[in-house]
Chains A and B, each alone.
Chain A
């Protein structure tokens, strides 16, 4: 359980990378997951990171998202209201620099 803090699934459609992260993101795994996503995002038009099922995240995760935004094309976050991701993204001020959406479909619709 501790070894597998988080799982990442990716899906590409119409040149958009959809990443769904499930579990906890902290200093022990954020960098590695960030690297994985950046590798998958090569040659994609946009990236939608679905954080709905992230149950824990901290500044390491915010740093990872920040890095992602710098290195991949248009990064959209899916952070439903009330989720931990929504809270941290807002507190960390990431919502002022990144687009956030309530659902993946909302994000895709806006692309």
Chain B
């Protein structure tokens, strides 16, 4: 139950879902996972203690811990979640929430409404700032508002207390009797919201407790201040990426339908709309041009509206102002006649975006959200920029379509042209052409392309009934006497009205290419920049007059095809250049490092141009120290491949000076801030120090590497996260992580885990389990993981994967122990420290200590070395097995086993270790034994 007394009656609420991008959400989850520390410490018990002094100490400890945990937050949601979780228990309160001022200061949003007894999954609340609640009072006045009891609340906030519509309100009243609302003040002294602590009444009467609340609130405000910078940067990156993607998509559009489709797709992808449609005015009625995600039951009538009826769409068309409705109440207020429709559909938010340049709006994009949604200033600015861009593309497409002739025909054609604009290969252009045949009134179509040397022509064709095209083209000499090849050769269109005309112009053999049902033919040349490219051939089963309008239409269509072909050729060329560039920039072969298994793979996306930008590198610093690097530059294509090359080179060069990951990232920040093409690149850097048995890492907006421990358990390297490269004065955290035994590390770029249809967490979990379960050798791992994650589906993005497998370098242990029992304790201290670096469980480590001491004791007591030479004790560990030896320089005294002590000692070694051997030579006695290391679980 999530209820709280400040919840106001349902109709007054607009429930919002804070738009949190996947990256931030992941960061939040990871932060929660990584730092579930504070409240679980024993300080909580002490906090509950009645001893006033120890309570104060515990609270100080807690506040210090809280400030540490908060310092790792990278988003507002992080901060809110930490405060809700840590604050609720440790501050001695029962609940803790953050309310933030939003929506231009007019309302208060509860960012994390999380009581300590709930998982807190309900949508955040929104309250108007002028509502009378303790929280809004605290924010308005800037003073602490304390509610001392249920009666006090009823007294001061009767509307809240006596709210019959929300049954849980009363329940919460009983559980949370008192509360403190403390204003959150930012570094500029502005009130940005309030912390709300629910607590027992006596806590509020205690000044010491109030000071704890106030200090916690101050820490929270400071953390919010700090993460705002992160979020602004993150938001800016998101905005830039989305606009960049959209611009790229628009650049490929030809028709208004294309533009509309692109806009609709992007709205769903970027804004998370559940459905989107584009509406245009046709014959004074508002008609849907394109719709996606619409309910199938949507009646046909709703796809046409008259202009007279007020609706968000018609208003946006008329006023050319974007209409944003964030709740059903808002919609019903503005359009009362839509009430029943809204209640029936259950949708929660709407956006009507006019596509307007100059005087009038040519279309409106209408997006519908089934769940609550608040549109931030960034969202709105993204929307209006998208609207402007789409309007330009729309206008361009409209002009082009008008050229083609009458509007109806053009619209029919536009749908077919959609395929043309998306075509990225010659075959795809031909396929789109075949699709367009009915719109052109033709029966069959064929395409001729002049070969590179100009002496041959590649021909392929088909009709709607047999649209199966292959990459096999028929090669014919350019001199061949057919209408199609003649048009390609001469650059003149040939209009053949009937069979008679055909026979009169062409040699008899050419007739074989045609079938009996055909009556008229046309061959239209294709040009690219004035240079002949080939020709389109069409046949008609009805006699054609080939009037001017038809000739213009065919010529325009041919021009579009020529455009598409040129673009396809460019795509193919750029794709291959990008792949070449990428592969020359990536390490040809990873330079081997002694005792380290390394393997990497780069996989370009299957989609055209989805190549370039991802890279990996391994930089050896010294024996046993090396850097693993994976990065991802924004965008695709040649420019990104080149940018990636710059960053990879810079990383290599800078690593020679600065090998600590965070410091290295700071250096790269300077590189990226001076070079737009590398800005916002993400990177993961891991420094492996095998001698120290330690990993150090830092992430700049990059997916967390995964570590597979020797016992097969998994750990995510997700603690040191920060924003992508290029920010000014960005904090770059660094984490150190000891490792034991043989471990494997996986670094990758987000192409491996991001797929539109699936949630990133699901994909990350899938990758984690694939990595955990595989026993494949490292050199097969990158390809195997990519294959497993793609599972035969399309790989839209490029992917870089880097795997490494290694173990810490252990320095063998050796001590010369004087032959006296008093030296055992000192030996134990040293050996215990060494065993810890091996990674033994505590119990196994203690067992080894006993075994070694038994052997040394035996040597002390039974070795009869007259010269009193020290005992030589050694330990070493290889491939997860520790071996020990204890050698003395005498022969053991004859067995004097009066009390069974000696037998017991050797027997203990045998019982505690995996095996034991006693070797006696003329020079002395050596006891050797070994024990397998069962590596301890995660080092946390």
Contact = CB atoms under 8 A, between A and B. Distances in A.
Interface string B829-865: 0000000000000010011011001100100110000
Given A59-B901, A67-B899, A87-B843, A24 B908 contact: no
A59 B899 contact: no
A58 B848 CA distance: 11
A88 B822 contact: no
B439 to A, nearest CB: 81
Given A2-B826, A63-B899, A84 B911 contact: no
10 contacts: A24-B828, A26-B825, A26-B828, A27-B853, A27-B861, A59-B904, A59-B907, A62-B908, A67-B899, A87-B847
Interface of A: 1-2, 5, 24, 26-28, 56-60, 62-63, 66-67, 84, 87-88, 91-92
B916 to A, nearest CB: 14
A24 B901 contact: no
Given A26-B825, A28-B822, A28-B825, A62 B904 contact: yes
A92 B824 CA distance: 20
Which of B825, B854, B908 is most buried by chain A, counting CB atoms within 10 A of its CB?
B825
Contact of B821 (A27, A56, A84, A92): A27
B243 interface: no
Interface string B748-777: 000000000000000000000000000000
B846 A58 contact: no
Contact of B850 (A28, A58, A67): A58
B271 interface: no
B825 A2 contact: yes
A62 B900 CA distance: 10
Contacts of B911: 91
Contacts of A2: 822, 825-826
Interface residues of B, number: 25
A63 B901 contact: yes
Given A67-B899, A87-B843, A88-B850, A58 B908 contact: yes
B850 A92 contact: no
A3 B861 CA distance: 20
Which of B826, B853, B857 is most buried by chain A, counting CB atoms within 10 A of its CB?
B853
A22 to B, nearest CB: 14
Which of B847, B860, B861, B904 is most buried by chain A, counting CB atoms within 10 A of its CB?
B904
A62 B899 CA distance: 11
Contacts of A60: 857, 901
A58 B904 CA distance: 10
A57 B901 CA distance: 14
Contacts of A24: 825, 828
A95 to B, nearest CB: 14
Given A91-B908, A91-B911, A59 B854 contact: yes
A26 B860 CA distance: 13
A56 B857 contact: no
Contacts of B828: 24, 26, 56
Nearest to B820: A28
B270 interface: no
A40 to B, nearest CB: 21
A59 B900 CA distance: 10
5 smallest beta-carbon distances between A and B, as pairs: A27-B821, A28-B821, A59-B905, A59-B904, A27-B857
A102 B510 CA distance: 104
Given A27-B860, A91-B908, A63 B822 contact: no
Contacts of A62: 904, 908
Nearest to A82: B843
A11 B850 CA distance: 29
Contacts of B861: 27
B904 A27 contact: no
Contacts of A56: 828, 846, 849-850
A58 B899 contact: no
Given A2-B826, A27-B857, A91-B912, A58 B905 contact: yes
Given A28-B821, A56-B828, A60-B857, A84 B904 contact: no
A59 B901 CA distance: 7
Interface in B793-844: 821-822, 824-826, 828, 843
Nearest to B904: A59
Interface string B873-910: 00000000000000000000000000111001101100
Contacts of B860: 27
Which of A28, A57, A84 is most buried by chain B, counting CB atoms within 10 A of its CB?
A28
Given A27-B861, A58-B857, A87-B843, A63 B904 contact: yes
Contacts of A67: 899
B30 to A, nearest CB: 33
A28 B824 contact: yes
A58 B906 CA distance: 11
B935 to A, nearest CB: 20
Contacts of A58: 850, 853-854, 857, 905, 908
Nearest to B852: A58
A92 B826 contact: no
Given A24-B828, A84-B846, A92-B908, A63 B821 contact: no
Nearest to A67: B899
A96 to B, nearest CB: 14
A26 to B, nearest CB: 5
B904 A92 contact: yes
Given A26-B853, A66-B899, A91-B911, 12 more contacts: A1-B825, A27-B824, A27-B861, A28-B825, A56-B846, A58-B854, A58-B905, A59-B908, A60-B857, A66-B900, A67-B899, A92-B908
A56 B843 CA distance: 11
Contacts of B822: 2, 28
A57 B828 CA distance: 11
Which of B847, B901, B907 is most buried by chain A, counting CB atoms within 10 A of its CB?
B901
A88 B849 CA distance: 12
A95 B485 CA distance: 101
B846 to A, nearest CB: 6
Contacts of A88: 850, 908
Nearest to A63: B901
Contacts of B826: 2
A106 B466 CA distance: 90
B817 to A, nearest CB: 12
A88 B161 CA distance: 65
Contacts of B849: 56
Contacts of B824: 26-28
A58 B854 CA distance: 7
A57 to B, nearest CB: 8
A57 B846 CA distance: 9
A28 B861 CA distance: 11
A1 B904 CA distance: 27
Interface string B118-162: 000000000000000000000000000000000000000000000
Contacts of B857: 26-27, 58-60
A67 B904 CA distance: 14
Contacts of B850: 56-58, 88
A92 B904 CA distance: 8
Nearest to A55: B846
Which of B826, B850, B907 is most buried by chain A, counting CB atoms within 10 A of its CB?
B850
Nearest to B832: A56
Nearest to A57: B850
A29 to B, nearest CB: 8
Given A56-B846, A59-B854, A5 B825 contact: yes
A19 to B, nearest CB: 21
A8 B236 CA distance: 68
A67 B899 CA distance: 9
Nearest to B908: A59
